């Protein structure tokens, strides 16, 4: 197989119609990164990364996110996520899309507004456990226990 995927192959892998793929490319939602159409008879070539992004777009649309909002999500992700966007974690709830990044939840459709911190309960447990070790040591030392 030659490098990349044709538009027909990309549409089939992602589970969309070629017409959808063509529309998304023509309206700059996602452009093929290997080779873009440049006139009659030219062929688009999509990379594996493009396929991942296309699948995310389809998933967002299937979850009820409007195409205009999907564009906003991808604009945000492309400009704000340092790593490969396929490694991002999105929480989709009704008409909102939240990016889980580290210990923060960021409302992508509000351009990062409404940042929430995520409390890791495992982290709370670790903090309590760390404080129990010195406490146990104090109980074992009768001189230290009498001083308290």
Most confident of 36-40, 60-64, 107-111, 131-135: 60-64
Domain made up of 1-62: CATH architecture? Orthogonal Bundle (1.10)
Mean pLDDT over all residues of the chain? 81
Check whether 1 has a pLDDT greater than 60.
Answer: no
The predicted model gives 96-122 an average pLDDT of 75
**First-residue to last-residue Cα distance in the chain:** 75
pLDDT of residue 101: 77
* Least confident range of 27-36, 85-94, 110-119: 110-119
Give the three-class secondary structure for 47: coil
Q: Angle at which helices 7-14 and 18-26 pack, to 10 degrees?
A: 110
Q: What is the tens place of the pLDDT at every residue in 34-43?
A: 877 666 666 8
pLDDT of residue 122: 74
Provide the pLDDT confidence category of residue 141 given band limits of 50, 70 and 90.
low
Strand partners, 101: 104
* Beta-sheet pairing, 89-93 with 45-46: unpaired
Cα separation, 7 vs 19, in Å, equals 10
DSSP state of 108: G
Q: Is the pTM of this model over 0.85?
A: no
């Amino acid at each position: 197989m030659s490098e990349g995927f044709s538009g027909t192959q990309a549409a089939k892998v992602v589970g969309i119609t070629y017409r959808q793929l063509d529309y998304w490319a023509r309206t700059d939602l996602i452009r093929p990164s290997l080779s873009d159409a440049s006139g009659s008879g030219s062929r688009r070539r999509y990379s594996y990364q493009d396929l991942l992004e296309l699948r995310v777009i389809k998933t967002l649309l299937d979850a009820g996110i409007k195409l205009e909002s999907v564009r906003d999500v991808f604009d945000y992700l492309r400009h704000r996520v340092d790593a490969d966007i396929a490694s991002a974690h999105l929480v989709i709830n009704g008409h909102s899309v939240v990016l889980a990044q580290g210990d923060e939840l960021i409302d992508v459709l509000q351009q990062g507004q409404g940042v929430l911190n995520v409390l890791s309960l495992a982290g709370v447990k670790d903090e309590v456990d760390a404080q129990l070790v010195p406490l146990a040591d104090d109980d074992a030392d009768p001189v230290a226990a009498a001083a308290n």
